[in-house]
Structure 1
Amino acid sequence: MQPLWLDVFRRPAVVPVRRFDRTLWTSRRVAAADAQADRISVATYNIWCDGTHAEQRYRTIARLLSEHTPDIMMFQEVTETARRVLLEQSWIRERYYSAAVTGGYAGNYGMVLLSRPPVTEVTYTGLPTQRSRGYLTARYRIGGHTLTVVGIHLESGKTAVQLRDRQLREIVGSVRDDRDAVILGDFNLRDAENGILPAGYCDVWPALRPGEPGFTEDTTINHMRYDMEDRHRHVRFDRVLVKGDTWIPESIELVGREPISAALPRVFPSDHFGLRCVLRRR
């Protein structure tokens, strides 16, 4: 099968940045601003595009994230329904900028950025892929330093090892000149593929929680994920990578490890767990 993307779709495309204005989300050109922060929190969540209890799951994800209100959130597998549910949350409308690539050529593999600090530019770049994959890049000015945050969703499947390697090399190359960068999202990497992780980046989970597996797909806990294929799976697909001298990883935790309700004990917010990570200024 040939890669889905043509060259025209693989050039970075500017994504409108929107802010909620009383009754609707409107495009807003964000003036270059130097946000001040000693700590920033980032989150990534593959929220599963399947329609199973979709709205209930998405609302649960929104509620879980509202307990910590991460500064920068990246979501994968965002459908139009998921985007609507996220953007109708009052706490998101009041505090966040949004940038979304959903529907159309993204299909069920849409991506959404929600950001409290002003974001100077957001772009979306398609990857060589058979599954509508790409990456969302957001650039910030925080405390006098530029920070680039890249949300990614690499190809899935055991047979796609070489394609994932190519995709990741392309993403890393896109920020090679950036001093400080965070790459987070669904890497779809198994432990045997850890050798393709880029030099110079800190893989935050094993750095801060050595000895803890950090599985983001874990059928021992997530019965919904087990029921999907009737077999066990324990993998750390979702990751946060950090490079540079300005921001030091301080903490990282899993999100969404409980059923969405007592009435639905085998339904979880997603087939993945999310990640929330706090970075501290050096």
Structure 2
Amino acid sequence: MRTSEEIYHRVRWDPRFDPARFVLGIALRGRPPKRVPLASFVPGGEIPWHRIVFVEADGELVWDRATGVDRIDSSDAGRVLDPRRLRAPFFTAKAPYAWDGLAWSPVRSIHDGHYGDSRLRVLTWNVLWDRYDRDRIDTASRRPRLVSELERAEADVIALQEVEGTLLKLLLAAPWIRSNYVVSEVSDRSIDVNGLLLLSRVPVRESGFHALGSHKGVVAFVVETAAGPVTIATTHLTSDHHAQGPALRDTELAALNDGLSDVDIPVVLLGDFNDGTALPADTLHLTDVWTETHGVDDQTPTFDPVGNPLAAVSSLTGRPSRLDRVLTRSLRPVHASLLRAPVSDHYGVEAELLVGKDDSAVLDSPATTRTAVAWLSPVDQPVVDSLRRSHDP
């Protein structure tokens, strides 16, 4: 019989196993063992190896200290059905969670078939944590309004940054999230480390995490869209509040580029890049959805100390900047807009991407590498008419 340490490393590094589908039983004094996702276990951390008393995969017991059971090689439980897209060593497998009617439980499988139509609607929002300027940002009233804004957005995938344990509890208790979304994290303690959270109503095939620093990282889902799997990830890079902010961002972007270059399916990367230049998209060889849909000259800020009082509280320079971005590879941008509700120091950025076959509603003529696509509301029509008249001969 192998040791618990040997079983852990076998599952963690053998590509034939999916770590996200394994659970460790941790012995507790005077109580039944606690079930902990294998992907959340930290070797050499607070829990010693001898306290692991059993290992389950897909609900099946595959290793048990007390009885000597060791069936990890003879059982099909926990075996990879499809090759992982979020590969080690860059990504560490994590368990996504869904509400089962009683609790948030690890997702073991997805529904058969594909989700939705040819459009994928995504939303990213830095939601302003309560670590600084607590007496000036009215967090108690902001958070419920934020949850309402997220519900109204009806995005297929939501990426949040600066999430704290109290906000996580509020989100996980929301009926609309419980009934429709899979989430990347349910632990207060874990969310407080980097503040990153993904929510998806598109079926989630796998989840992964990579640490970019002590409090920085990237959280990713592989979701099953109408056209097949797509990787959707969120990150939050170091700001200029840190003395070495620009240099650290360069290092973080380089790491992201290395990790995402190994992903062989379409990619959507959302988050707060803390950089108002085109550097993130250029370094990562990704398309900036806002630039594609609004043009290179449009620098509409997502962090605006002039127009947003919450941004004025934390701004170092008072300058508006476009810090929050939706970047993509191999998907066509259709639309991008801001959510300007005064619930954070950042505005939310929502985008619509074409993931299936082209349709006539997207373009009147075939797209080229120089095509910029923008959807205009009726209130914009007078502006369009004026521009047309100014260019008439």
Normalising by the residue count of structure 2, what TM-score does the alignment of the two structures yield?
A: 0.61
Distance 2:111 2:258 in 1: 25
Distance 2:268 2:316 in 1: 35
* 1:31-64 Cα shifts (integer Å, max 9, x gaps): 3744232101011111111144224212212211
- Could you tell me how far 1:22 is from its partner in structure 2? 2.3
Moved over 6 A (4+): none
Q: Is the 8 A contact 1:77 1:108 kept in 2?
A: no
Show the counterpart of 1:189. 275
Distance 1:101 1:155 in 2: 24
| 2:294 aligned with 1:214 | no
Gaps of 5+ in 1: 1-7, 259-267
> What SS class does the counterpart of residue 234 from structure 1 fall into?
coil
Distance 1:229 1:22 in 2: 43
Name the structure with the higher strand share.
Answer: 1
Show the counterpart of 2:368. none
> What SS class does the counterpart of residue 335 from structure 2 fall into?
strand
* 1:188-218 Cα shifts (integer Å, max 9, x gaps): 1132x62773364211112111243221110
Show the counterpart of 1:238. 324
Matching residue's letter, 1:18: Y
| 2:143 aligned with 1:58 | yes
- Could you tell me how far 1:106 is from its partner in structure 2? 5.5
Show the counterpart of 1:153. 236
Matching residue's letter, 2:289: V
Instruction: Give 1 or 2 for the bigger CA radius of gyration.
Output: 2
Show the counterpart of 1:252. 336
- Aligned with 2:126 (options 38, 46, 62): 46
- Could you tell me how far 1:270 is from its partner in structure 2? 0.8
- Could you tell me how far 1:250 is from its partner in structure 2? 0.6
Change (3 A) 1:250 1:196: closer
Matching residue's letter, 1:272: H
Show the counterpart of 1:15. 94
RMSD, aligned α-carbons: 2.7
| 2:157 aligned with 1:75 | no
* 1:95-134 Cα shifts (integer Å, max 9, x gaps): 111111765466363211110011111111101x35x000
Distance 1:134 1:180 in 2: 20
> What SS class does the counterpart of residue 217 from structure 1 fall into?
coil
* 1:43-91 Cα shifts (integer Å, max 9, x gaps): 1111111144224212212211212310011111110011111111111
Distance 1:124 1:112 in 2: 11
Matching residue's letter, 1:219: P
Q: Is the 8 A contact 2:185 2:191 kept in 1?
A: no
- Could you tell me how far 1:279 is from its partner in structure 2? 0.6
Q: Is the 8 A contact 2:104 2:186 kept in 1?
A: no
Q: Is the 8 A contact 2:281 2:327 kept in 1?
A: no
| 2:294 aligned with 1:202 | no
Give the % identical residues: 26
Q: Is the 8 A contact 2:218 2:236 kept in 1?
A: yes
Change (3 A) 1:20 1:175: same
Q: Is the 8 A contact 2:114 2:228 kept in 1?
A: no
Distance 1:55 1:23 in 2: 27
Aligned residue-pair number: 262
Show the counterpart of 1:179. 265
Change (3 A) 1:124 1:102: farther
| 2:106 aligned with 1:27 | yes
Alignment of 1:93-112 (within 5 A): 93-100=178-185, 103-104=188-189, 107=192, 109-112=194-197
Show the counterpart of 2:348. 274
Show the counterpart of 1:265. none
